[in-house]
Amino acid sequence: MATVTIKQVEKDYMLGKTSVPALRGVNLTIEAGEFLTLAGSSGSGKSTLLNLIGCLDQPTRGEVWIGDAQVSNLKEKQLNFIRSTMIGFIFQSYNLIPVLNVYENIEFPLLIHKDVSAEERKARVTYFMDAVGLTSQAQKKPSELSGGQRQRVAVARALVTKPSIVLADEPTANLDSKTGIETIELMQEINRKEGTTFIFSTHDPKVMQRADRIIYLEDGMIKQEEQE
């Protein structure tokens, strides 16, 4: 089954009284387990599309489906449920909590999942902290880590709730090229192992080449697509 279906999606932002078209008729189907990137120059609509898939915003026209739910029809409570159970987010600026250590940052999104026992929580945090190679840094605060290590904490934090989709808006933008590619390779390894769908955006051609499918956006439309 398709994990994400985008049908004739348009998104306009209002800038004062002027309407700015950010997406202009996008159609896209993403299957479960894909490792896909959104490419395109600044302003082409990558973040807007990721925000719609992440249920952080609603399209002006058209439909966004996550699994079998059309998200534009859902109330805030149902959107919250989808966001917290089906989707993991990784941000350009990591968004870690400075006062929490590595272990606690990874654990944090699980604390609202009352159905996950303390034992299961510990097992999951331990598993994903190991998967991103940070077990030896468990007690460190984000300020004591390198950029690449911080982004690995963010990857583990996005995965700990076992979402079916992970969204990453320019996850390598603040990393040097080598660390950026290592981060993408880590995401790819998890994609292969866990079957999690990854959708990320990038400007960097070296990073984009690591994806199995590249969707090129231009002026709010899909211009071209490449598949490995």
Q: Which residues bind ligand ATP (CB under 6 A)?
A: 13, 15, 20, 22, 40, 42-48
Cα–Cα distance measured from residue 90 to residue 51, given in angstroms and rounded to the nearest whole number: 12
Closer by beta carbon to ligand ATP, 15 or else 118: 15
Closer by beta carbon to ligand ATP, 159 or else 166: 166
Closer by beta carbon to ligand ATP, 116 or else 221: 221
Q: What's the closest the beta carbon of residue 72 comes to ligand ATP, in angstroms?
A: 18
Q: Is 37 helix (H, G, I), strand (E, B) or coil?
A: strand
Which H or E element spans position 181?
A: helix 177-194
Cα–Cα distance measured from residue 21 to residue 186, given in angstroms and rounded to the nearest whole number: 35
Residue 19 Cα to chain centre, angstroms: 27
Closer by beta carbon to ligand ATP, 21 or else 148: 21
Q: In what order do the strands lie in the sheet with 69-70?
A: 18-31, 2-15, 61-66, 69-70
Q: Is 228 helix (H, G, I), strand (E, B) or coil?
A: coil
Q: What's the closest the beta carbon of residue 53 comes to ligand ATP, in angstroms?
A: 12
Q: Which residue has the tokens 């079957």?
A: 195
Q: What's the closest the beta carbon of residue 22 comes to ligand ATP, in angstroms?
A: 3
Closer by beta carbon to ligand ATP, 149 or else 202: 202
Q: What's the Rg (C-alpha) of the chain?
A: 17
Closer by beta carbon to ligand ATP, 3 or else 47: 47
Closer by beta carbon to ligand ATP, 1 or else 15: 15
Six token digits for residue 219: 């002026």
- Cα-Cα-Cα-Cα dihedral sign, residues 127, 133, 136, 140: negative
Residue 86, CA atoms < 13 Å, CB-side half-sphere:
18
Q: Is 150 helix (H, G, I), strand (E, B) or coil?
A: helix
Q: What's the closest the beta carbon of residue 181 comes to ligand ATP, in angstroms?
A: 19
Q: What's the closest the beta carbon of residue 192 comes to ligand ATP, in angstroms?
A: 27
Q: What's the closest the beta carbon of residue 143 comes to ligand ATP, in angstroms?
A: 26
* CB neighbourhood size of 35 (10 A): 21
Q: What's the closest the beta carbon of residue 18 comes to ligand ATP, in angstroms?
A: 9
